Structure 1
Amino acid sequence: MAAELRSLVAQRIVLPQGGIGLDAVALYVRGGAEIDGRRSFRVPAGSTASFATYFNAFPAAVWASVVGIDRAVLRLHAEGEGIHRLRAVTADGVVSTLAEGRDSGTLSLATGPFRDGVAWVWLESTAADQPVRVSDAEWRIEARTRGVRIAVSITTMNRVDDCALLLAALGDHELAGVLDGVVVVDQGSDPIAPHTPGPVLSNGVALRVIEQENLGGSGGFSRGMVEALDTAATHTLLLDDDVRIEPESIRRLHALAAAAVDEPLLGAQMLSMLDPTVLHSMGEQMDRRRMWWHGTEPELSAADLSRLPIETTPALRRFRPVDFNGWWMCLIPMSVIRRVGASLPYFIKWDDAEYGLRAAEAGHRTVTVPGTALWHVPWTSKDDGLDWQAYFQLRNRIVTALVHERRPRRVLSSTWTQDLNHLLCLQYGSARLRNTALQDVLSGPEHLFDTLRDGRSRAQRILAESGQAVRADEGRPRVEAGAALGAPPRGAAAQLRRLARVLLHQLAPVGRTSSRPAAVSRASGKWWQLGLMDEAELRSATGAGYFLLRRSRREAWHLFRRSAWLRARLWLGWRTLARRYRSAAPELAGAESWRRFYAGGARTDAQGS
């Protein structure tokens, strides 16, 4: 269908009315505004309300890049005597006024052509001697648009309460004309179906629940992608089950997808559910040689946006390209899925990163959209380097490197450094898991589907056999590690001295252990402290238990040699192995391969649409 030129609501000015948004009001409005509804506010006499905020400023530079527009109009309804200005800031930090209106009634404030690299534009309303009420403010653009029908795909496992809250949010009336349907892929033992509203959400959007065995995030999200291929959907929106959404974010992705000049993947940023005004991820870039990701703006990692004004924070005014967007919330065109397939059978970890690289190689960029976000528990609060996930973290990282990177040195050396860190930290279960991951990689791409069903249980078994599993506190008092171990070493010289001390300790015979090992906090559980201990209780990231770690010279030496030997084999066989994985990747990710795999396992439609 040919795209038509029309006026499009790009985004609306919205205010929180309940839930987690009320803990993050600073992301919506600054100054003296009083919230008067979801889309209305009052400005007391003599006060000014500014919408130079994360959720309500208009990211003009992103829309200009994705859609090709060079102007926008803010339409609003005003009651009372006041001044309403459009303010803008460039990437260089130059603030200016683009338009101004003083009338009551419906106002249209036009930006005119964007000049001098405008990054954000926002509304600023000032009341005179009487209060001013503003409502129904929305940013409009003129663009050629296409029809967009979004099929939401949620993967869940035993998070009934979280998933039910998410479905309730997706049933918001604001999304009635935005969503085409919702599919929940339930992979848990505690079914979500009895906790859903039925075959439709409260806003009339169709809901379908598919129950299947636990195939991880890649198996769940791929199921959603494959199922959407048989519908009229133009896009699928991947959503984690344990998030809190701002419904306006979905509306904005819908609008941007409708107006985009090409077919990009569109992603949301991540705010911390633990600290609702803290930005945890603004976008992800990949260091291809190390095959490891990092934030586009590292200085914004864990940054409190309530204390960082857009006008005076350079990192908030730079919109850097990204290599992928996390699948906590990512909108993928169905045309991309038809062209490059679904996820590789990774179970968890790296499926979203690898997919972004694969889509880019096929000509589809990823755009992480500022002002579009949800709240999620940050991954820094998880034990994915210590528990069973350590297997998938390394295995999938190496496979991604084999498919997308020709030079093995940096990725092999950096991952070996991590192995050595685990050994110094007495985490022999993690080291054994990682050696198993390398052995599986060497066996070839066929193992990916072979381990999809039992990879997690095998990893858990290996950890249990190694004595590295989370243990319950059982109400015992904690014994903190003594101060004799010292503070973290600062500077290269101090780190070298501490490393020498750690290595000498690791070579020494294991001393007699006490009846109760000292407890070490998650933040202090690093090589410089654990490497000087013979036994420790390392707190889990959640604080709900601990890992019992005991030093063993024999085990450490065995794992060290095994790790070195496996990496030597990878180094020597990298070219041949990379050709095998690159050749196999299209079929492994293809919809037909996934359909055959699903057909071989349990499948139930718990609810039909």
Structure 2
Amino acid sequence: MQKAPLANVLVRTDDFASGYPELYYRAESAAYDKDTGALSFSGTVDFSTYFNALSLEKWKRYTSVGVIKLELEVAGDACDIFFAELREDADVASIDSMPLLACGQSEDFCSYVMELPESDAPLVSFVIKSGGTSFVRSARFFTEVEESAVRAVRLALCTTTFRKEEFVIPNIKAIKREVLGSDEPISKSFHMYVVDNGRTLDAEDLSDEGVTVIPNANTGGAGGFARGMLAALGSNATHVLLMDDDVCVSPESFKRAFNLLSLVNDKYRDAFLNGAMLSIDQPALQYEDVALVRKDGIYDKIKPDLHVDRIHDLVKNETINVEVANAYGAWWFCCIPVTAIRRHGLPLPLFIRCDDVEYGMRCQPTMMCMSGISVWHDSFEGRFRASVDCYQYVRNFLIMIAVDDKSSEHMFMLRLSRTFNIYLRSMNYESAELLLDGLEDYLKGPDYLAKINGEALMKRNGAKNECLVSITELDKNIMSQVDIDHAYLG
């Protein structure tokens, strides 16, 4: 039998979610102690949370796990460890009355291993109750399986970036430190490719044995991810993980993805694994994980917005079925088997928008997702750009319909007509024009798409985007006829 890791328990909050400890633990009095590298707490600490509850039902469904065990290191005053279950329609975890283990007082950290009881709950976790002040330095869930049940996974992470150094460089450093520098199985079977469409990164300085920065022409997200896929195909990778450049991520998400793929059963060996998108502005708000394309010519997320720091929403997140027709995973965090790339080819050269949607419709994968595998991303509200949300969306969605035939072209054109008329009535003529431009360029056929310079096209269309300007820059003749309350303007 071989020991196989499932998930590490995070006792320290990620910096960008430090104000939301309920994503990691719930406690009346708890703080991370840098001197001991442990979580110090008094009374009770509950790990029934988004990052630290184990998605038991999904581990059983996706993999061939055996008996699941919990290993942890504790010190300090005597404490008891209790088993907890998270079930549907419950607002709190159900905690066993009898402890799994009673730990005596100890100034030194002691390691304990305990077997978790059989359960049919969607998620399980544990609670520690201390008689005074105790410390948890580490904890992890693992299983024991036959050596033949562990797949040889080699994971290639591909990030396509365009001048997003403020995100990309910290992510590279965190991966080098906590993934490649760890003592876990992933450290020897992981490589990060950074496709630099802006050519502003110091490739020589940032690259090493575990990270490769690839200067690239600005071919958009579609071209950048295609370049990353080619790099992975040229290596010995078994899976390619596509990830946006403007995200914050906990390195534990990579580890859990790797552990899941290492144990995945035959039914799910060809499935895509998609990470959820949490909001950077509201770190406990999950915006989306898996989406689908509807017959009426629109793509939509499968789950509603969920506040995953709440037990009810956390369980709902794990019990909503994402294995539906025409499902796909957005490329802020989407793990694709190399076998699928060899079978279905590279992304269409759409530059940006709908590239991930079209690829999902072409591959028609079974989708997997799991709490704790996620990124924090800027929300989409307030980010409307007509050059992208009108031109690119219309042109590329119509291309997807023509190529994959997963939506009604008739319904899409009805929606397009309605949107066009709304823009006309609201005098949003630039957006209306870009809708028509997208339609016209689609009708030019595939030869036009093959020859167009995507970067130049984006710049030209970007000039039509609505923008805010100072009132002093507006036409003086027109403004002289407008009754403006200058006192109100300040």
TM-score under structure 1 normalisation?
0.69
Task: Kindly provide the amino acid, as one letter, of the partner of residue 41 in structure 1.
Answer: L
Q: Distance in 2 between matches of 1:518 and 1:56?
A: 59
Contact 1:186 1:211 in 2 (8 A): yes
SS at match of 2:18: helix
Q: Distance in 2 between matches of 1:457 and 1:477?
A: 27
Q: Distance in 2 between matches of 1:70 and 1:475?
A: 68
SS at match of 1:370: coil
| 2:488 equivalent to 1:458 | no
Give the aligned partner of residue 486 of structure 1. none
Q: How does 1:69-148 map to 2 (within 5 A)?
A: 69=65, 71-79=67-75, 80-91=77-88, 93=90, 96-97=94-95, 100-104=100-104, 105-115=110-120, 118-128=121-131, 130-143=132-145, 144-148=149-153
Shift of 1:234: 1.3
Give the aligned partner of residue 303 of structure 2. 297
| 2:39 equivalent to 1:22 | no
Give the aligned partner of residue 487 of structure 2. none
The worse-fitting range, judged by mean Cα deviation, of 439-448 and 48-57 is: 439-448
Give the aligned partner of residue 225 of structure 1. 229
Shift of 1:15: 3.0
Q: Distance in 2 between matches of 1:216 and 1:84?
A: 51
Task: Kindly provide the amino acid, as one letter, of the partner of residue 193 in structure 2.
Answer: V
Q: Distance in 1 between matches of 2:412 and 2:483?
A: 35
Give the aligned partner of residue 238 of structure 1. 242
TM-score under structure 2 normalisation?
0.85
Q: CA RMSD in A?
A: 2.8
Q: Distance in 2 between matches of 1:114 and 1:279?
A: 26
Contact 1:430 1:463 in 2 (8 A): no
Q: Distance in 1 between matches of 2:471 and 2:179?
A: 47
Structure 2 counterpart of 1:199, from 207, 218, 231: 207
Q: How does 1:515-526 map to 2 (within 5 A)?
A: 515=480
Q: Distance in 1 between matches of 2:407 and 2:317?
A: 34
Q: Distance in 2 between matches of 1:412 and 1:70?
A: 52
| 2:218 equivalent to 1:214 | yes
Task: Kindly provide the amino acid, as one letter, of the partner of residue 87 in structure 2.
Answer: T
Q: Distance in 2 between matches of 1:341 and 1:142?
A: 37
Change (3 A) 1:477 1:133: farther
Aligned length: 456
Q: Distance in 2 between matches of 1:414 and 1:11?
A: 44
| 2:400 equivalent to 1:387 | no
Give the aligned partner of residue 10 of structure 1. 6
Render the CA deviation track for 1:178-219: whole Å, top value 9, x for unaligned.
Answer: 35322211111x51126x74432xxxx432222222111000
Give the aligned partner of residue 436 of structure 2. 435
Shift of 1:49: 0.6
Structure 1 counterpart of 2:270, from 263, 286, 291: 263
Q: Distance in 1 between matches of 2:483 and 2:237?
A: 56
Q: Distance in 2 between matches of 1:460 and 1:339?
A: 34
The worse-fitting range, judged by mean Cα deviation, of 368-377 and 17-26 is: 17-26
Contact 2:293 2:407 in 1 (8 A): no
| 2:162 equivalent to 1:164 | no
Task: Kindly provide the amino acid, as one letter, of the partner of residue 375 in structure 1.
Answer: W
Contact 1:70 1:114 in 2 (8 A): no
Shift of 1:254: 0.6
Give the aligned partner of residue 293 of structure 2. 286
Q: How does 1:303-322 map to 2 (within 5 A)?
A: 303=307, 305-306=308-309, 309-311=310-312, 315-321=316-322
Task: Kindly provide the amino acid, as one letter, of the partner of residue 142 in structure 1.
Answer: E
Change (3 A) 1:132 1:476: farther
Change (3 A) 1:236 1:282: closer
Contact 1:172 1:247 in 2 (8 A): no
Q: Distance in 2 between matches of 1:411 and 1:254?
A: 39
SS at match of 1:446: helix
Task: Kindly provide the amino acid, as one letter, of the partner of residue 190 in structure 2.
Answer: D
Q: Distance in 2 between matches of 1:359 and 1:274?
A: 33
SS at match of 1:285: strand
Task: Kindly provide the amino acid, as one letter, of the partner of residue 415 in structure 2.
Answer: S
Q: How does 1:575-594 map to 2 (within 5 A)?
A: none
Contact 2:50 2:314 in 1 (8 A): no
Contact 2:290 2:301 in 1 (8 A): yes
Give unmatched runs, 5+ long, in structure 1.
479-511, 520-609
Q: Distance in 2 between matches of 1:405 and 1:78?
A: 54
SS at match of 1:298: coil
Task: Kindly provide the amino acid, as one letter, of the partner of residue 167 in structure 2.
Answer: D
Give the aligned partner of residue 600 of structure 1. none
Identity %: 24
Change (3 A) 1:445 1:102: same
SS at match of 1:410: helix
Q: How does 1:421-570 map to 2 (within 5 A)?
A: 421-451=422-452, 453-454=453-454, 456-462=455-461, 464=463, 468-471=464-467, 473-474=469-470, 514-515=479-480
Change (3 A) 1:109 1:153: same
Shift of 1:70: 6.9
Q: Distance in 2 between matches of 1:518 and 1:183?
A: 56
| 2:356 equivalent to 1:352 | yes
Q: Distance in 2 between matches of 1:291 and 1:370?
A: 29
Shift of 1:290: 2.0
Shift of 1:343: 0.9
Q: Distance in 2 between matches of 1:136 and 1:400?
A: 47
Change (3 A) 1:154 1:406: closer
Q: How does 1:44-55 map to 2 (within 5 A)?
A: 44=42, 47-55=43-51
Q: Distance in 2 between matches of 1:28 and 1:415?
A: 44
Q: Distance in 2 between matches of 1:471 and 1:444?
A: 31
Q: Distance in 1 between matches of 2:471 and 2:277?
A: 35
